[in-house]
Amino acid sequence: MADFNKRSFWNFTFKDILAIISSVAIPIALAIYTSISSEQQKQQAEKKQQFDFEQSRELRQQSIYDGFLNNTYKLDKDGYLNDTRNPWAFANAYYRAAHRQWDTIRKADVIQFLKEKQLIGRNNCSNGCRTTKLDDIIRLNELSFDKVSMSNAEFSSVNLNGASFDGARLDNAKFDSSSLLCVSFNGANLIGAHFSNSDMTGAIITEDQIKQASFHNVTMPNGKKTETASATTTKKPITKTTTIIRTEISTKASSSTTTTSSITTPSTTSSKTTSIAFSTSTTTSTSTSSTTSSTVAISSTAAATSSLTEATSLTKEISSTAILKWTTTGNMSVARYWHTASTLANGYVLVTGGFDGTSVHSSAELYNPSTSTWTTAGSMNVARQYHTASTLANGTVLIVGGFNSDGYLNSAELYNPSTGTWTLTGQMSITRRQHTASILANGSVLITGGYNGSKYLDSAELYNPSTNTWTTTGSMNVARQDHTASTLTNGLVLVAGGLPNGGSILDSAELYNPSTDTWTTTGQMSITRRQHTASILANGSVLITGGYNGSRYLNSAELYNPSTNTWATTGSMNVARQYHRASSLENGLILVTGGYSGSSYLDSAELYNPSTDTWTTIGSMNVVRDLHTASILANEKVLITGGYSGSSYLNSAELY
């Protein structure tokens, strides 16, 4: 039995206890400290994320409003709003075309700004319906606000006939003196919503939703009216309309004041009208706060039919210049970078070769725009990246040069879409990669410059599709890689910039004349650049954008005028970028996408407007990428494929 009176027993026990406590307490303390520290870091990260989100949302709202207001002024300046039959027919048409492109977040933002700036106008038609102040410009009928968050929103004297609020948040919203014929509230939150002095005939609303909201002097969906507060209530004539606003957004537009100009419309009686139907798209939404404004629908009468017909003809252009949305489409079968993409005569897009981070591909695949699917298109005879692809007049695609694990290539091959087969077609006189390929007026293909593993090249050669043969032609004045080559409307080929042998990056440019097989210098760009882009504008000028000059990444742009053989700077992009892509849209604008800024890979995109020499940022791609491809489809969409994100090689594709 232990003797508890002996001090030695207590000494042993005390030390033992201390050791046990120490061995357990220290890890516990460390764990608690680590947990607290981790939680603090998490909270800080969440706060930063929320702050960044709010900042982004504010900037997005401002950009949307700036574009809305700026282009309304432009419509007025161009005389579209002086049509005495219906001054706002064009503005209404522009707005509706833009609305179908906005996602639900932007719809909520725009509505909020319209209310705050009182741009959902009043039907006062003062001063002979001339443009005196921003008034009477937006009607909201037949538009979709599905899943938009409009808690506490106030709608006063608005025409929302046929509008859809399916899944929208309208808790505590107020609708007063409004026309709500056939409005759909499927799944909408109407808790606390208040409807007064309005017509809801034919509206889609459940009994439960009716119980959630309150109704005062309202004609209900069944045609019966709730209690009447005033015997003098006047109903506004109800007409169907078409509506909207052009959205070539100006990022520099001022949004501080909106009382400078506006439009009013003649009073309208019930009459036959014309309407344009558009589809709408939806995503998640942000909430909008309560702001009171007096808003009224603008009626569109039969007298405005001609104006609306003209507005309809503008829809194609509007759809391309609106705040457009990026959508993902089917993925390629493999990741590709430094690949090519060619639009075929049948509307398909042929993607060839490239690198996936492990190996160079010989495979090819086809994108079908009708089904948004990819199918294999056989394999090239030679795996390659850094090559070129040219769609010839006979519909075949010429693949030239490049690089693979065996070295630099001089081989060429043809893809025949009719048979789905690949055929070798002679060889260039020299191996090369990162060269250019330009289709000439006579159908031949001009290959220029590049790198062969030992030096940068000044040589050029021609491929003749009629004979499937190669011939050398005059050499450029300077060797170049990472340059651009553009076939001008006069038949000459403009080569600009690039990287030469043993020297600095180039600012020089030269012209190839197919008639004489000769090269002549043609001035200099304002800055040296490589890995830039070159785009032919509708007026024949060439737009050069971005690139790298050896010390910094560039956001500058400049124009080459073939008539005077001169260079002039133009507005700069909002973001510096190299390895980006530039696409000439049917409406004359230039779409620039992605690239690398020197510090990050980019998902941003922007549009260049040749008429104003300005750049406008638009919605970002779903994935950051450089060295991707951009192809114009028959439906005027732009297909983006592959590239590199900074951490992975991509097989994803998306549409603009």
Architecture field, domain 59-325: 3 Solenoid (2.160)
Compute the average pLDDT of residues 454-476: 97
> Looking at this protein, which amino acid is placed at residue 292?
T
Categorize the per-residue pLDDT at 134 as very low, low, confident or very high, splitting at 50, 70 and 90.
very low
Q: What is the pLDDT of residue 148?
A: 74
Residue whose tokens read 């870091």 = 41
For 208-251, the pLDDT digits (tens) are: 899 889 999 999 988 888 864 333 333 333 333 323 333 333 33
| Distances 190 to 108, 112, 233, 251, 290 between C-alpha atoms, Å | 17, 19, 25, 36, 15
Candidate from 277-291, 377-391, 561-575 with smallest mean pLDDT: 277-291
Question: Measured between alpha carbons, how far is 237 from 141 in angstroms, rounded to an integer?
Answer: 14
Nearest CA-CA partner of 66 in 117, 132, 138: 117
For 630-651, the pLDDT digits (tens) are: 999 998 899 999 999 999 999 9
595 or 52, greater pLDDT: 595
Question: Measured between alpha carbons, how far is 569 from 572 in angstroms, rounded to an integer?
Answer: 9
Candidate from 298-302, 547-551, 620-624 with smallest mean pLDDT: 298-302
Q: Is the pLDDT of residue 144 over 80?
A: no
> Looking at this protein, which amino acid is placed at residue 256?
S
For 488-509, the pLDDT digits (tens) are: 999 999 999 999 998 789 999 9
Across the chain, mean pLDDT equals 77
Q: What is the pLDDT of residue 656?
A: 95
Q: Are 402 and 386 in contact (CB under 8 A)?
A: yes
45 or 452, greater pLDDT: 452
Compute the average pLDDT of residues 609-634: 95
Q: Are 138 and 263 in contact (CB under 8 A)?
A: no
| pTM value > 0.85 | no
Residue 505 token pair: 């990056």
Candidate from 22-31, 192-201, 228-237, 551-560 with smallest mean pLDDT: 228-237
Q: What is the pLDDT of residue 109?
A: 61
Which backbone phi and psi does 481 adopt, to 5 degrees?
-135, 155
Total count of residues recorded for the chain: 656
Q: Is the pLDDT of residue 18 over 90?
A: no
526 or 282, greater pLDDT: 526
Categorize the per-residue pLDDT at 294 as very low, low, confident or very high, splitting at 50, 70 and 90.
very low
Exposure string (b/e) for 137-166, b if CB count within 10 Å is 16 or more? bbbbbbbbbbbbbbbbbbbbbbbbbbbbbb
Q: What is the DSSP track for 333-370?
A: SS--SS-EEEE-TTS-EEEE--B-SS-B--EEEEEETT
Categorize the per-residue pLDDT at 101 as very low, low, confident or very high, splitting at 50, 70 and 90.
low
For 357-400, the pLDDT digits (tens) are: 999 999 999 999 999 999 999 999 999 999 999 999 999 999 99
Q: What is the pLDDT of residue 147?
A: 76
pLDDT > 90 fraction of the chain, expressed in percent and rounded:
52
Q: What is the pLDDT of residue 273?
A: 28
Candidate from 263-277, 413-427, 478-492 with smallest mean pLDDT: 263-277
Other beta carbons less than 10 A from residue 267's beta carbon: 12
Compute the average pLDDT of residues 536-557: 96
Q: Is the pLDDT of residue 327 over 60?
A: yes
